[in-house]
Chain A
Amino acid sequence: MAFDKMELKDIEVWDGNFAAAQALRQSQIDVVAAYPITPSTPIVEGYAKFLADGYIEGEFVMVESEHAAMSGCVGASAAGGRVATATSSQGFALMIEVLYQASGMRLPIILNVVNRALAAPLNVNGDHADMYLGRDSGWIQLGAYCPQDAYDLNFIAFKVAEDHDVRLPCMVHQDGFMTSHTAQGVHTLTDDVAYSFVGDFKPMNDMLDFEHPVTHGVQTEEDWHFEHKARQHNDLMTKVLPKIQAAFDSFEKLSGRKYNLVESYDMADADVCVVCMGSSVETAREVATEMRAKGIKAGVVGIRVIRPFPFMEIAEALKGVKAIAALDRSSPNGAPGMLFNEIAGALYNTADRAMLCGYIYGLGGRDLTKKHLANLYTELQANVDAGKITTQLQQFIGVRGPKLAFL
């Protein structure tokens, strides 16, 4: 082996970016094609430093744009090896067509998305605009709430994506700055344990097998396209969630850390509940506990698997809740938020249709404070007490100016 192992402490103080870079190092990637963009740049820089210091053996290609980064990843993955990269925001937007190409070609590429707002106006801070842009790209999408998650979920991502029954690319999302640049004590795995969880890369339909040449990236017109897209959707709908669950179970045995398709917190008898993604989940959990002390039966549902959307599992987690708030960290620009719509879809045909409200928050890195959430839970409780929604269906939290409420 022409690279050195790293001795890690049991707990290292890492921010989300460095945690992701370490996970990529430990996964022994064959080709990383990457481009820098705030706030994901440190992942790529961390990886480059590992390479320069001899902790990585493999190719690191610093290309000339994010579109080229994902294009290089697609070519490398089709050639037949382990591939990963990282980006944010504008870079994610630039590579969007290649994301669809990668998933349509069923190539297991891992993409760390450090979520950041989309211009215009230009903003380098954290929100979920980029995540929402890639919603329908056909990728498996996992959401980290903290650096520990960013570290762990990368291993899960490789294991699930590269499975020959899955063969779909996978994104690991983390909040820009709030997770990526915030350090935390991260429980580590040793290099050997981490790599053995991910396992050796097993090629499939690899171009570099000269005895079995393959053609990748064909054209399909009205006589074939529907079948190919149907197949991709079928595999996302039927194969992926069980594989993710199995990976979560193995990972729990290995590390003691338990991940769930839907992260329910104090939901057993909750009357009111906040559903959200990213670092806000942790804030909401703290506030929910405080609301409990005040006599409000508050819970939190964190979205862990964003795609495939755990439709049944979310409906199950929200059973019995009387008032739900769906928090979207992206401006829907003329419609209810994505999470609001998807939860509404999951609940619409259920017997106990809870009261559902949408909140838009935290755009461009604007903080979601505990006070905001406390007010929100109080509003939800008011809905429960009145037996109907007492506010408008969509409200903006934390924006200066006259109160913004719609629908």
Chain B
Amino acid sequence: MSEMKKVKNLKEFSTSADRFEGANLLCPGCAHSIIVREVLNATNDDLILSASTGCLEVCTAVYPYTSWDASWIHVGFENGSTAVAGAESMYKALKTKGRLKQPDRNPKFVSFAGDGASYDIGFQWISGCMERGHNMMHVVLDNEVYANTGGQRSSSTPIGSSATTSPAGRKSYGEKKNKKDIVAIMAAHQIPYAAQVAPNKWKDMVKKIQYGMQVEGPVFINAVSPCTTEWKFDPKDTMHITDLATDSLVFPLYEIIDNHELNITYRPKNVVPVEEYLAAQGRFKHLFKDEYKYLIKEWQERVDAKWDMLQRREEARV
């Protein structure tokens, strides 16, 4: 097992040589890129990467340009995770047979996919990878819609959000269903590590990614990726929105080890009301109409209940 690089502080982290390139086609202010950089910079080991069809894939590998400085594969929408699992299997086979070209390297296998590709169309594929125990990491870039195709709802879209296939209108407040708890579902596969991360807490993310890369077996990471285009906020505010997301506890940061140890890894000094988080995004603006204000109250109740549950699990050490 290789030594994980030491990242004491941000200055040290800034000496990383990025393996992801700019001049790609991602929107200005896109959080996907910030997350990918933090994940890739968490290690100096070689990487085998994949991306499922989605914003990241479509914006970083349009012929004749690639923004990837490590071997990378895109196959389809459902199967980025399985493609990496296949590559990991080939690595194991070639290692056993003594045919690796650089046998002393310790590559990390990471698949990236959006919430559409992970919660919905690729759900079974990821489940298969987690169940089979491949030594890989799946990172969800969760912007809570099918962003690449214009913002249609996915099973990650939260209640009250206006998406193009669950739009707010005269008779509707938008999405009616709440997001499923993907981290709990994946943890229930008895994988060694599942966690929720956010790009604003870079140190928390790097620590979790490093843990995930060192542990033997499948790892599942859900990363909140605020989308300036679909969540409807100014590109410069991406980190501000991410701060609201983590500080309002809408996106709590925690980890589940071996499906029986939950640790909360970020406790905001000042917890921000959920209303502030919702007010900052155009996709929720209709919730501030008198007839829908009750939904904001329900939002706060749900977030509080989830936070309460996480704390109880943490305390009970389950």
Chain A–chain B contact at Cβ < 8 A: yes
Q: How far apart are B287's CB and chain A's nearest CB, in angstroms?
A: 36
**A75→B97 contact, CB < 8 A:** no
- Against A, the Cβ 8 Å flags (1 = close, 0 = not) of B63-107 are 110101111111110110011111101111110110111100101
Residue from A97, A217, A228 having most chain B Cβ neighbours under 10 A: A217
Q: How far apart are B18's CB and chain A's nearest CB, in angstroms?
A: 14
**A57→B97 contact, CB < 8 A:** yes
Kindly list chain B residues whose C-beta atoms are within 8 Å of the C-beta of A217: 61, 73-75
- A62→B102 CA distance, assembly (Å): 28
- A65→B64 CA distance, assembly (Å): 33
Q: How far apart are A254's CB and chain B's nearest CB, in angstroms?
A: 25
Is B233 part of the contact surface with A, judged by Cβ < 8 Å? no
Which residues of chain B from 190 to 227 have any CB-CB distance to chain A below 8 Å in the complex? Answer: none
Query: Which residue of B46, B62, B68, B85 is within 8 Å of A72 (Cβ)?
Result: B85
* Residues of A participating in the B interface, judged by any CB pair closer than 8 Å: 2, 30-31, 33, 57-59, 61-65, 67-68, 71-81, 83, 97-98, 101, 105, 203, 206-211, 213-221, 224, 228
**A214→B90 contact, CB < 8 A:** no
Kindly list chain B residues whose C-beta atoms are within 8 Å of the C-beta of A2: 96
Kindly list chain A residues whose C-beta atoms are within 8 Å of the C-beta of B102: 209-211
- A101→B50 CA distance, assembly (Å): 14
- A280→B82 CA distance, assembly (Å): 38
Kindly list chain A residues whose C-beta atoms are within 8 Å of the C-beta of B57: 219
**B83→A221 contact, CB < 8 A:** no
**B71→A208 contact, CB < 8 A:** yes
- A208→B89 CA distance, assembly (Å): 11
**A64→B128 contact, CB < 8 A:** yes
**B124→A215 contact, CB < 8 A:** no
- Against A, the Cβ 8 Å flags (1 = close, 0 = not) of B108-124 are 00000000000000001
Residue from A57, A79, A213 having most chain B Cβ neighbours under 10 A: A79
* Residues of B participating in the A interface, judged by any CB pair closer than 8 Å: 46, 48, 50, 57-58, 61-64, 66, 68-76, 78-79, 82-87, 89-94, 96-97, 99-102, 105, 107, 124-125, 127-128, 131-132
- A73→B91 CA distance, assembly (Å): 13
Kindly list chain A residues whose C-beta atoms are within 8 Å of the C-beta of B91: 79, 208
- Contact A68 B79, CB 8 Å, known A59-B92, A208-B48, A215-B72: yes
**B63→A72 contact, CB < 8 A:** no
Kindly list chain A residues whose C-beta atoms are within 8 Å of the C-beta of B86: 31, 33, 61, 71-79, 83
**A208→B63 contact, CB < 8 A:** no
**B75→A64 contact, CB < 8 A:** no
Q: How far apart are B225's CB and chain A's nearest CB, in angstroms?
A: 20
Query: Which residue of B75, B82, B90 is within 8 Å of A80 (Cβ)?
Result: B90
Residue from B79, B84, B91, B105 having most chain A Cβ neighbours under 10 A: B79
Can you list 21 A-B pairs, Cβ within 8 angstroms, ordered by A?
A: A31-B90, A33-B82, A58-B93, A63-B132, A64-B125, A68-B124, A68-B128, A74-B86, A75-B73, A75-B83, A75-B86, A75-B87, A77-B86, A98-B76, A206-B101, A207-B73, A208-B107, A211-B101, A211-B102, A219-B57, A219-B58
Kindly list chain B residues whose C-beta atoms are within 8 Å of the C-beta of A68: 79, 82, 124-125, 128
**A219→B61 contact, CB < 8 A:** yes
Q: A98-B79, A213-B69, A215-B71 are in contact. List 5 more A-B contacts (CB 8 A).
A: A75-B86, A79-B86, A207-B87, A215-B66, A219-B57
